[in-house]
Chains A and B, each alone.
Chain A
Amino acid sequence: MASIKSLAASSARSKESEGASTARPGRSRGGRRRALFTALAVAWTAVGVFPVLWMAVMTVKPEALMFARPPVWAFTPTAEHVRHVLAEGFVWNLGRSLVVAGLSTALVVVVGTPAAYAFARFPIRRRDDLLLFVLATRLAPPVALVIPFYLIYARVGLLDTYTGLVLAYLTFNLSFYVWVLWSFCRDLPVELEEAARADGYSPGRVLIRVVLPLLRPGIIATSVLCFIFAWNEFLYAFMLGGKAVETLPVAVPKLITSQGVKWGELSVVGIAALAPIAAVVFVLQRHIVRGLTMGAVKG
């Protein structure tokens, strides 16, 4: 026990001592370079995010001015779009999306983490073939698979159920998760685990006590991505869901009506759908940023 702790501590210490915010090749030559890169990053971010900002403005813009040529920058905002979205009950869709995406991601993490670790660490027979099989479940276009799925689900009564949709999402999320986490697992330092085994830890305990904490950032990063995929998924949610399980992406086409597209309401829903994920990423980013090191890389 003591030996693992000391090993872990020394590893952390060495990384701590390597110092702060700048990481790798070419130490920062002081504030100017940093400022330059920051400016670059900000500019690049602004350009990339501009369309979204425009959409955010559209959430309160009166419809008559939306596509005015030339564009109108000054106008009296209207709460009409937000009001309409709330009245249509999109909040319920948001809730349902949270449930489906949350359950699906949780399942993926629980099932996929041990598998990724096992593939990285142990001499599993036919490992390459199994890994390719895992990937294979993702290779066919969902557009083609959705009707066979529908037919199977209709027969077993899984249509319009949370179970059904969560299971369907496993097809692409689980393979993604296993593959990405596998590459993170490979980068883990073996010494810690070997020390633990030397101390008499069972393989299971090694996994839970030693590996999982080290893997946490990788798990968080990958599971956030899986959550995003499940959150935004449309096709399966549409065909395999129904009235009871109407997620947010499926509710969006309701705004493309026979009277025209409700651009303002669409913008509201589009931006609102971002909020939960943006919050999650903002809060969890320090785990992702740290990567796999135990040390502190100040962000």
Chain B
Amino acid sequence: MTPAGARPGGGEAARVGWFPYALIAPAMLTLIAVGLVPFLYTVYLSFHEMRHAQIGDWAGLSNYRALLLNPRFWHSAGVSALFIATAVPLAFGLGLAGALILNRGICLRSVIIPVRFVPTMMAPAVVAILWKIMLAGSWGLISYNVIERFGILTGTSVLASPALALYALVLVDVWQWTPFMMLALFAGLQSLPETPYRAAAVDGATALQAFRRLTVPLMMPLMVVIGLLRLIDASKVFDTIFLLTGGGPGTATESVSLFVYKRVFDFWDLGPAAATAVVIWVMFFAFANGFYQVARRKLGAF
């Protein structure tokens, strides 16, 4: 079977000429207008001294230098990295497990899917408030009925503990985004072709072998795309962290988005904030690039 996604032969290229470019043109132009222009403006701002939202003198690299020398920036990058490294694989794993279960053919699937999807459908701010109601020290539902009742945590509460607060936030993020992974991976599983599996069954392969040798490679493009997108989005998580811990206790949960938020909305320090945006962008661009290359070569995803 020809691998899905094979492109037509070279002769096709001559015949289709400008057509593909016409297809991508609207998207490209739109992205340039609404995506590139504000970003370039941000880069422009990052090279200037900003006083009270008015562009001041040329500042060269001083905003960048101040940022990169600021230990608090690196701390927030570390917090974000830890957050992403814990939340995304967990959500992915649980989502994949859920997708596999759904794929098995269970009853009530048409009810379970929308219900299970509810967390992803909720506004992040509402999710934050919901989990505050659950986890708030002393008066939270889970805090009182589970944590305090069984004496799991003494002397502090989940969100007030520097050690646990970040993991509580990870829990909230996993709670919200696992259904997203689950649905996307489920759609992918549903789209897998039958024939290879029949052949494998004929050859006497076990379910596990079929999973490793067939499902994983076939699902790889989708898994990589979903994984990458979620990794990037996890760095931007803001509402939940802001409403549940405010970046604290101390700076234990001060992720990059909170770091930037403070500089923009509390201090109105737009120069360093713009520089932070650019630095983050560069870091993610390098990462996405590397990820893409690895996925392409090692995993055969692209």
| Complex: A in contact with B (CB within 8 Å) | yes
A→B interface (CB under 8 Å): 14-15, 18, 21-28, 33-35, 37-38, 40-42, 44-45, 48-49, 51-52, 54-55, 58, 67, 69-71, 110-112, 114-115, 117-124, 128, 130, 132-149, 151-152, 167-168, 170-171, 174-176, 178-180, 182-190, 193-194, 197, 203-204, 207, 217-218, 221, 225, 228, 231-232, 234-235, 248-249, 252-253, 261, 263, 266, 269-270, 273-274, 277-278, 281-282, 285-286, 288-293, 297, 299
Contacts of B24 in A (CB 8 A): 114-115, 118-119, 124, 130
Q: List 9 A-B contacts (CB under 8 A).
A: A25-B215, A37-B106, A117-B23, A121-B20, A122-B7, A180-B226, A203-B15, A263-B133, A270-B122
Interface size class of B (residues with CB under 8 A): 35 or more
Q: Say yes or no: A274 contacts B288, CB within 8 Å.
A: no
Task: Note all chain A residues with C-beta closer than 8 A to B221.
Answer: 183, 186-187
Among residues of A, the one whose C-beta sits closest to the C-beta of B301 is A183
Given contacts A23-B192, A122-B19, A148-B38, contact A38 B123 (CB under 8 A): no
A24, chain B: closest CB distance, angstroms: 5
Does residue B125 face the partner (Cβ distance < 8 Å to A)? yes
A261 to B133, CA, bound (A): 11
Chain B residues whose C-beta falls within 8 Å of the C-beta of A22 in the assembled complex: 104-105
Complex Cα distance, B186 from A221, in Å, reads 11
* CB-contact partner of B273 in A71, A147, A277, A292, under 8 A: A147
Q: Report, nearest first, the 6 A-B pairs whose CB atoms are least far apart.
A: A137-B35, A291-B190, A144-B277, A291-B191, A186-B5, A122-B20
Q: How far is the CA of A248 from the CA of B122 in the complex (A)?
A: 12
B115 engages A24 (CB within 8 Å): no
Q: How far is the CB of B247 from chain A (nearest CB, A)?
A: 12
Could you list which residues of chain B lie within 8 angstroms of chain A, going by C-beta atoms? 2, 4-8, 10, 12-13, 15-16, 19-21, 23-24, 26-28, 30-31, 33-39, 41-42, 45, 53, 98, 101-110, 112-126, 129-131, 133-134, 139, 141, 144-145, 175, 178-180, 183-184, 186-194, 197-198, 200-201, 205, 207, 210-211, 214-215, 221-222, 224-226, 228-229, 232, 235-236, 238-239, 256-257, 260-261, 264, 270, 273-274, 276-278, 280-281, 284-285, 288-289, 292
Nearest Cβ on chain B to A229's Cβ, whole angstroms: 9
Contact B109 A48 (CB under 8 A): no
A-B contact count (CB 8 A): 360
- Quick one: given A144-B260, A147-B273, A278-B114, are A136 and B281 in contact (CB under 8 Å)? yes
Q: How far is the CA of A193 from the CA of B4 in the complex (A)?
A: 12
Q: Which of B30, B104, B211 contacts A174 (CB 8 A)?
A: B30
With A118-B20, A291-B190 given, name 19 new contacts (CB 8 A).
A25-B201, A41-B106, A45-B115, A111-B30, A114-B27, A121-B8, A141-B280, A145-B42, A145-B277, A147-B270, A148-B38, A184-B191, A187-B221, A187-B222, A207-B23, A217-B191, A273-B123, A281-B113, A289-B110
Judging by beta carbons under 8 Å apart, are A148 and B274 in contact?
Answer: yes
* A165 CB, min distance to chain B CBs, angstroms: 11
B192–A234 CB distance below 8 A? no
